[in-house]
Amino acid sequence: MLKIRITIIIAFFIGLFISCGSDDTCRQNMYVAMRVRFYQQTTDSETGAVGTGTLTLDSLTVKGVGVDSVLINNQKKRSDVNVFLKRFKNETLYVFTFNDINDTLTILHQNEEELLSFECGYLTTYTLDTVYHTTHYIDSIAIKSRTVNATSNEENLSIYKYITAE
């Protein structure tokens, strides 16, 4: 009878230790960011030939609308950025400041929560619907990948600036 009790107690503690997951495992998969890249599209004024290349910005500031914090503050030499979408709303707004010129992005998205585990909680996956923007600096935006999740490293949005080459 004593051996059975000891076996049950040992099995209980082994099960308890095995079931407790590491918090680091939860953290590495919980942060879901939308990936944005900047491009310049140039048109040769003489030939009319169009080319597209990566745009490296001299200065970039990104601030969420309706929040007090600045996500990126006057960073230099940026050609991409990761921004977060709102988990409990279907609309996220950001003000992008390119070399002192402001443009507002309105991102409409659907949110889907998936339970990872009791310890880790929920992971939100987003599906991009539409992106509206002002055109003070930005000329156009293309949705490259509509799915924003923790496992993909795909570019979600491409922001274009048109430049006429001499």
Q: Is residue 3 part of a domain?
A: no
Backbone angles phi, psi at 155, to 5 degrees: -75, 130
Instruction: Answer for the pair 143, 161: CB distance below 8 angstroms, yes or no.
Output: no
Q: Is residue 2 part of a domain?
A: no
Provide the residue range defining the domain that includes 38.
24-165
User: Looking at the 3D structure of the chain, how many domains does it have?
Assistant: 1
pLDDT in tens, the chain (166 residues): 666 666 666 666 665 555 555 555 566 566 789 999 999 988 887 887 888 889 999 999 999 998 878 888 999 999 999 999 998 999 999 999 998 999 999 999 999 988 877 778 888 899 999 999 999 999 999 999 999 988 888 999 999 998 876 5
Question: Cα–Cα distance between 48 and 72 in angstroms, integer?
Answer: 36
Question: Cα–Cα distance between 96 and 17 in angstroms, integer?
Answer: 47
Q: DSSP code of 58?
A: S
Nearest 10 degrees: CA dihedral of 5, 9, 15, 21?
170
Q: Is residue 7 part of a domain?
A: no
| pTM reported for the whole predicted model | 0.78
Instruction: Answer for the pair 33, 82: CB distance below 8 angstroms, yes or no.
Output: yes
- DSSP letters, 133-163, are E--SS--EEEES-SEE-SS-----EEEEEEE
Q: Is residue 18 part of a domain?
A: no
